């Protein structure tokens, strides 16, 4: 392998820049050329490339977002789009690539690699932690800390006014963020897609906590929660069924994806970049690098995409006990 392309794709996450830096510097260390591909598969189709060396990635390890930009490409889903992308890669002499992204980005890489035989390696970058084959995706740890900090602030105002807050957090259709920040920020209840608490039990639990002497409460709701109601509908339901609390809603939104990466994410990104480049050099392809029991491990891309990242339901019990 002489020239490796690197790009970020799908929703951005803190730590993506640290991963780009690691891929670029690992290439430099092994005397391999490295090319940054802008805007994910969109930029690949358009040939939006830039040669990168060890110095092009200075000062970015601490930056949120991605200096290579990111996109979700519709055109790459078509055979014509992928052919255009392949032609651009050949023109630029890129003979392997590292994709930093989530399951959609990996699916694109797998199809492309099957069609054109180009070696690919994936680095899981998403705040959702919904990828099989790694205990942590890049950005997840930072997002947890960002969300806990935000909920701590909401708690200040909740307790000053004796209010109940429904706080919606991201995570797409998994509850990793909700479950962990719920415990970390001391939530009364945590609603996640993996477990259907039911509206009656929710109201019952809130009533019980009021009777036990609590004056304010936080309920963390995963955006993909199974009750199937938006946080605003939850507020309406509680308003209609219990008079004990004054209820407010807060949807944290995209602030959860921003910010300077935590030290954990910076170290993880650095390790993943090294492992991705060195795996390509040793002839491996179609794998995702991940963290398993604190060791870098490779998982076939198809398993990473299809396998479900398991949520630790024991945490729900911990939360129940903590919110007594």
Instruction: Provide the minimum distance between the beta carbon of 132 and ligand F6P in the complex, in angstroms, as a whole number.
Output: 15
Place of tokens 């490295």: 34
C-alpha distance from residue 115 to each of 100, 108, 186, 251 (Å): 20, 11, 49, 42
Place of tokens 């507020």: 235
Instruction: Provide the minimum distance between the beta carbon of 101 and ligand F6P in the complex, in angstroms, as a whole number.
Output: 9
**Nearest CB to ligand F6P, comparing residues 193 and 273:** 193
Query: In the structure encoding, which two tokens stand for residue 202, read together?
Result: 């929710």
Q: How far is Cα 90 from Cα 303, in angstroms, rounded to an integer? A: 28
Query: Annotated catalytic residue: which of 128, 130, 141, 265?
Result: 128
Residue 51 annotated as binding site: no
Catalytic annotation present for 128: yes
Residue 309 annotated as binding site: no
Residue 207 annotated as binding site: no
First to last CA, the chain: 58
**Nearest CB to ligand F6P, comparing residues 108 and 171:** 171
Instruction: Provide the minimum distance between the beta carbon of 11 and ligand F6P in the complex, in angstroms, as a whole number.
Output: 4
Among the listed residues 209, 217, 176, 170, the one whose alpha carbon sits nearest the alpha carbon of residue 195 = 176
**Nearest CB to ligand F6P, comparing residues 119 and 224:** 224
Instruction: Provide the minimum distance between the beta carbon of 32 and ligand F6P in the complex, in angstroms, as a whole number.
Output: 30
Instruction: Provide the minimum distance between the beta carbon of 149 and ligand F6P in the complex, in angstroms, as a whole number.
Output: 17
Contact residues toward ligand F6P (CB under 6 A) are 11, 102, 126-128, 170-172, 223, 257
Query: In the structure encoding, which two tokens stand for residue 190, read together?
Result: 């945590």
Task: Give backbone dihedrals phi and psi of 95, rounded to 5 degrees, phi first.
Answer: -115, 10
**Nearest CB to ligand F6P, comparing residues 11 and 133:** 11
Residue 186 annotated as binding site: yes
**Nearest CB to ligand F6P, comparing residues 33 and 130:** 130
Residue of closest CB approach to ligand F6P = 170
Q: How far is Cα 206 from Cα 31, in angstroms, rounded to an integer? A: 61
Residue 248 annotated as binding site: yes
Q: How far is Cα 133 from Cα 299, in angstroms, rounded to an integer? A: 6
Residue 155 annotated as binding site: yes
Number of other CB atoms surrounding residue 256 within 10 Å: 22
Among the listed residues 311, 281, 3, 44, the one whose alpha carbon sits nearest the alpha carbon of residue 178 = 311
Q: Which residues pair with 298 in a beta bridge?
A: 289
Report the catalytic residues: 128
**Binding site residue list for substrate:** 126-128, 163, 170-172, 223, 248, 254-257
Provide the annotated binding site. 11, 21-25, 72-73, 102-105, 126-128, 155, 163, 170-172, 186-188, 214-216, 223, 248, 254-257
Binding site members for ATP: 11, 72-73, 102-105
């Amino acid at each position: 392998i002489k020239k490796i392309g690197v790009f970020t794709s799908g929703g951005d996450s803190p730590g993506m820049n640290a991963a780009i830096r690691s891929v670029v510097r690992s290439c430099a260390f092994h005397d391999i050329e490295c090319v940054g591909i802008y805007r994910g598969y969109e930029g690949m189709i358009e040939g939006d490339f830039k040669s990168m060396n060890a110095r092009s990635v200075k000062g970015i390890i601490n930056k949120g977002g991605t200096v290579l930009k990111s996109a979700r490409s519709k055109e790459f889903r078509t055979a014509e789009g992928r052919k255009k992308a392949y032609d651009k890669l050949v023109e630029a002499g890129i003979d392997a690539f590292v994709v930093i992204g989530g399951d959609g980005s990996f699916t694109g890489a797998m199809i492309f690699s099957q069609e054109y035989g180009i070696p690919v390696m994936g680095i899981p970058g998403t705040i959702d932690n919904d990828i099989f084959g790694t205990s942590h995706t890049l950005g997840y740890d930072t997002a947890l800390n960002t969300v806990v900090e935000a909920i701590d602030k909401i708690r200040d105002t909740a307790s000053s006014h004796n209010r109940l807050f429904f706080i919606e957090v991201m995570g797409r259709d998994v509850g990793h963020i909700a479950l962990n920040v719920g415990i970390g920020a001391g939530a009364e209840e945590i609603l996640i897609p993996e477990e259907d608490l039911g509206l009656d039990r929710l109201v019952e639990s809130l009533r019980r906590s009021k009777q036990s002497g609590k004056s304010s409460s936080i309920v963390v709701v995963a955006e993909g929660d199974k009750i199937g109601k938006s946080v605003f509908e939850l507020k309406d339901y509680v308003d209609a069924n219990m008079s004990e609390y004054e209820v407010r809603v807060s949807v944290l939104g995209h602030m959860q994806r921003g910010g300077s990466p935590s030290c954990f994410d910076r170290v993880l990104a650095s390790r993943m970049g090294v492992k991705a480049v060195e795996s390509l050099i040793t002839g491996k392809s179609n794998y995702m690098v991940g963290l398993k029991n604190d060791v870098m491990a490779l998982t076939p891309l198809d398993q990473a995409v299809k396998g479900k990242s398991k949520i630790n339901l024991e945490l729900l019990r911990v939360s129940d006990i903590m919110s007594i």
